[in-house]
Structure 1
């Protein structure tokens, strides 16, 4: 697989973008950009959890509805969801209707609410590795690292769910804890 693709705008991008406009926007504006804040990282954790076993583009296309039904992913609000909310979410075709993932998101929100303000951000970013050598190709990009495994273990120990090492590495990439834009991508530099 080639590591770069040239967009209609003439810019070289990581090839996973393909020709999809939403993927291109996500790549250009979000992926690898440092993201901070408990609410923002809770949302990222929830969406990465919902993505497990699916393609990320599926989540991106459903993200506006996820944000609507999970009330902006405000941890305090989601933590108050009850059985009626679970059933409401299970009936909503605009999101991924997976009971275990919905329950995990609610449970994870309750855990975030029990943390001090800024604690989730500080905890997650404590696992960000020192920037290393830029990947030359996708073959150089891991699916799991020691840091994502340690983050996963730490979160699981606190009771968080759907936070496996692969899911946490994807979160690290998407939230800028690591920058896996390949060499030659216009976002490098």
Structure 2
């Protein structure tokens, strides 16, 4: 489990991000998918990432140091943020530059709203990740907002759509920031990947 989490730095340019000396896990998703709430739930610090009911709150690449051992990165959401087209284009370039240039990025956690049928924008984004060989996992959020059968049905639909793109199911987790469902499984996955990262350097 995460014992210590602290904010490091915010940037608009991947070149100014912390030196890539530690494994990195980034979190991204459609605007208002519950990204900041998930980051806060995983770290046990409800004030770590700024949460807002207003889409587009996260506008920078935000780095957090976790247990002095790995970086957690909160990225701007994509999609429905009410911002100008020029700002949206700037965000998209900032995100794509970051994702394609961080050699220490172990996994991109792509957040998917479990209340919804598969969204075109999410499928387009994971397709882009596949095309650019960016390692990603799916993290379904807000699983507490409807019954389990509805959650599982929506997850199954998304996995089926993803299977059509990739020929296999991406690794995935089902979470709730409110009930902490999925917290242990997701942190265990990250910690195992962190260990593997350091082992590979030996």
User: What is the TM-score of this pair, normalised by structure 1?
Assistant: 0.25
Q: Which has the larger radius of gyration?
A: 1
Structure showing greater relative contact order (alpha-carbon pairs closer than 8 Å, 6 or more residues apart): 1
User: What is the TM-score of this pair, normalised by structure 2?
Assistant: 0.23
Higher percent of residues as helix: 1
Higher percent of residues as strand: 2
